[in-house]
Amino acid sequence: MPSISRDEVAHLARLARLAVTEDELDLFAGQLDQIVAAVAQVGEVAGQDIPPTSHAVPLTNVFRRDLARPGLTPRQALAAAPAAEDDRFRVPRILGEEA
């Protein structure tokens, strides 16, 4: 016996503002029934002796070592800049004086 009725599917469709035909009501009721049965089956398998997990296999983050390396000098960084001033990039002003 189906646990999800056509009326329930129609009600859900109205809540979700979906246009559903009469044929689709029967189709969706059967599909939702299968989904509910599959979830119930999974619920039966999970016992008290099985700890909850978020992944099927253990995950380990792999990070490379963070090594400090020399960076660019101000002169090297500004070498290709169209304009520089006081060891900084010079760019056009985009904000007014009030900023």
Q: Give residue-wise pLDDT tens across range 29-86.
A: 999 999 999 988 877 776 777 777 778 888 888 888 889 999 999 999 999 999 999 9
Q: What are the extents of the domains in the chain?
A: 6-45
pTM of this structure: 0.45
Return the CATH fold of 6-45: Histone, subunit A (1.10.20)
**pLDDT given at position 46:** 66
Distance of CA 4 to the CA centre of its chain: 30
* Conformational region of residue 76, where left means phi above 0, alpha means psi within -120 to 50, and beta covers everything else: alpha
1 vs 15 pLDDT, higher one:
15
Distances, alpha carbon 11 to alpha carbons 19, 27, 30, in Å: 11, 15, 15
Say how far apart CA 51 and CA 38 lie, in whole Å.
20
Say how far apart CA 6 and CA 30 lie, in whole Å.
9
